[in-house]
Amino acid sequence: MIDTVLSATRPLRARRAGIDTYQQPVVYLRGDCPVCRAEGFQSQAQVEVIGNGRHVLALLHQVQGDWLRHDEIAFSEAAWSLLGAADGAEVDVRHPPVQDSLAPLRAKVHGTRFDYTALRLLMEDVSHGRLSDIHLASLVTVCAGGGLDFDETVALTRAMVDVGERIDWGVSPVMDKHCIGGLPGNRTTLLVVPIVAACGVLMPKTSSRAITSAAGTADAMETLAPVDLDLATMRRVVEREGGCIAWGGTTRISPADDMLIRVERPLSLDSEGLLVASILSKKVAAGSQRVLIDLPVGPLTKVRSAAAAEQLSRSLVAVGAALGIQVRVQRTDGTQPVGRGIGPALEAMDVMAVLERQPDAPADLRERALQIAAGVLEMAGRSAAGAGEALAREVLADGRALAKFAAIREAQGGARQPPRAAHTQPVTAPAAGTVRAIDTRLVARAAKLAGAPRDPAAGATMHVRLGDRVELGQPLYTLHAESAGALQYALSFVRSQLPLVRIGQDGGRSPAP
């Protein structure tokens, strides 16, 4: 017995497992190792790993194979990054301290309202990975379906800001824009930022990568320039060029939000309070002072009705005011994809076509970006009310926006050329008629099955829009993939579904699937 206890106190050797567990820190121990026997650790237990001067809380998975020795502990990529040690470094493993934040979470389940103190405790533990996915799922669940009132939403937003880094740019105004999402190809940020920055208005933009979509803003920008900017580099780029388009994951700007999103998306729970807190906490933390929100409304977007759009708009504006920032919501059409490309490189090509004023550049992407840029310029006081669109159009037309975008790309690490997929396949019209509907969700899913955003060149290119007249056999969209297998996988999905693009025949009839 004495030997077993002593062996459990001896350090273990750290080993990098090379397993991607996304943002969930996971460690691996042999089930029959002395530590597991002495401490009574079971799979799915949370443990604290101490090494390299750091304390890492991680989920334990037990292994039975011989690939791991009794004196070793293996780390997932997320856990390895948090530890910051080298292979073979000595670490200690023990039971984690009791989390005080779980008490207010349990109280909320039984009907007690959150206050700032409780939410600050929770967000502190969330941001440092101290809560298991089960506890995070519980938090998301109690916040869903109207679980947060206005005061709780304000408190949550403030708490999410306070547990992370906060940027002060030292000037005013600092502008930003955000899209609620859910609409393929809506890559206006890459156009709005250079237009606004070319007008002398500060616009540092931190953006996300795709989680459930075929491309995020950071994914598309990454095919044109580096986006993994640390805070010092981001500040240098913005001070030099007046704007940037960077991935927010390299900073600790509202880190609790990233952790919550990881469990919120798979649950598919509708939570206005969490959505508002997620958006505005990152804007406040990034130093934004005035924010324009692009809110697409359509039958398959996140916001599907005028009533829901009105409710969300009121909440965004009110919570923003409580946090000291000005928010304006601009509703846009969400009935069909924007531009032609769906996927990182394909969307980036659309952006460059607009900036370069190519004759065949997607007009809908251009006009949508000009409207949003107009709103930002008017909010910034750079133009009078109603005059922002004319200014934005002039900056795009005379090449200043293109020049500014080139300068931003160079400042962020140098320009890149978007890759092109090795394999393509058009999907054609089954009959002549008029395009009556485009299922934006199925189109995005087909692009993802083709490999986007994992393969930057993969995705889909739309050839038609609502109301277009098409002939039998005319291409409706083209799938792009890096491998023949991925292309066939996406095509199999397309053939198993109702038509992604629905054609109405003469008299308004639609052909059979």
Q: How far apart are the first and last CA of the chain?
A: 70
Average pLDDT over residues 56-75: 92
| CATH code assigned at 10 | 2.40.40.20
E strand spans, 298-374: 326-333, 341-342
User: Which candidate, 43, 45, 49, 36, places its Cα nearest to that of 75?
Assistant: 49
pLDDT per residue as tens digits for the range 114-146: 999 999 999 999 888 788 788 889 999 999 888
**407 and 430 assigned to the same domain:** no
- What per-residue string of b and e applies to 482-509 under the rule 16 or more CB within 10 Å gives b? beeebbebbbebbeeeebbbbbeeeeee
| DSSP 8-class letter at 210 | P
pLDDT at 4: 38
pLDDT at 506: 57
Question: For strand 243-247 and strand 290-297, is the pairing parallel, antiparallel, or unpaired?
Answer: unpaired
**406 and 446 assigned to the same domain:** no
The residue from 151, 270, 294, 350 that is catalytic is 270
247 near 284, Cβ under 8 Å? no
Q: Is 460's pLDDT higher than 60?
A: yes
The structure tokens 């002060």 sit at 168
**11 and 56 assigned to the same domain:** yes
Q: Which domain holds residue 89?
A: 2-94
Question: For strand 46-51 and strand 54-63, is the pairing parallel, antiparallel, or unpaired?
Answer: antiparallel
User: Which candidate, 57, 66, 69, 140, places its Cα nearest to that of 99?
Assistant: 57
477 is a domain residue:
yes
**442 and 392 assigned to the same domain:** no
Give me the sheet containing 423-428, strands edge to edge.
341-342, 459-462, 475-481, 423-428
**Coil, strand or helix: which one is 469?**
strand
52 near 85, Cβ under 8 Å? yes
482 is a domain residue:
yes
In the chain, pLDDT over 90 holds for what percent of residues? 75
Question: For strand 290-297 and strand 175-179, is the pairing parallel, antiparallel, or unpaired?
Answer: parallel
The pTM of the full predicted model, rounded to 2 decimals, is 0.86
User: Which candidate, 216, 253, 243, 245, places its Cα nearest to that of 229?
Assistant: 245
493 is a domain residue:
yes
- What per-residue string of b and e applies to 243-255 under the rule 16 or more CB within 10 Å gives b? bbbbbbbbbbbbb
**36 and 64 assigned to the same domain:** yes
**443 and 402 assigned to the same domain:** no
Number of domains present in the structure of the chain = 3
Q: Is 248's pLDDT higher than 90?
A: no
68 is a domain residue:
yes
Task: Grade residue 10 by pLDDT with cuts at 50, 70 and 90.
Answer: confident
- Lowest mean pLDDT across 90-104, 430-444, 490-504: 90-104
276 is a domain residue:
no
Last-in-domain residue among 94, 119, 140: 94
Cβ-Cβ contacts under 8 Å for 295 (sequence gap 6 or more): 179, 180, 303, 309, 312, 313, 329, 330, 331, 332
128 is a domain residue:
no
**396 and 483 assigned to the same domain:** no
pLDDT at 270: 65
**354 and 231 assigned to the same domain:** yes
**300 and 441 assigned to the same domain:** no
pLDDT per residue as tens digits for the range 386-403: 999 999 999 999 999 999
427 is a domain residue:
yes
| CATH code assigned at 186 | 3.40.1030.10
**454 and 349 assigned to the same domain:** no
Q: Does the active-site annotation cover 87?
A: no
Per residue, what are the HEC states of 380-445? CCCCCCCCHHHHHHHHHHCCHHHHHHHHHHHHCCCCCCCCCCCEEEEEECCCCEEEEEECHHHHHH
Q: Is 1's pLDDT higher than 50?
A: no
**372 and 480 assigned to the same domain:** no
**356 and 460 assigned to the same domain:** no
pLDDT at 462: 98
Query: Half-sphere exposure of residue 291, counting CA atoms within 13 Å on the CB side?
Result: 33
| CATH code assigned at 448 | 3.90.1170.30
Last-in-domain residue among 46, 62, 94: 94
pLDDT at 252: 72
Q: Which helix (H) or strand (E) holds 296?
A: strand 290-297
Task: Grade residue 97 by pLDDT with cuts at 50, 70 and 90.
Answer: confident
Burial class, 66, CB count within 10 angstroms (exposed 0-12 / middle 13-18 / buried 19+): exposed
Measured distance CA(378)–CA(380) in Å, rounded: 5
Q: What angle do CA 159, 330, 160 make, to 5 degrees?
A: 5
Last-in-domain residue among 43, 73, 94: 94
397 is a domain residue:
yes
How far apart, in Å, are the Cα atoms of 200 and each of 50, 243, 310, 403, 457?
48, 10, 32, 13, 33
Task: Grade residue 204 by pLDDT with cuts at 50, 70 and 90.
Answer: very high
Average pLDDT over residues 229-249: 93
pLDDT at 6: 35
Measured distance CA(438)–CA(357) in Å, rounded: 27
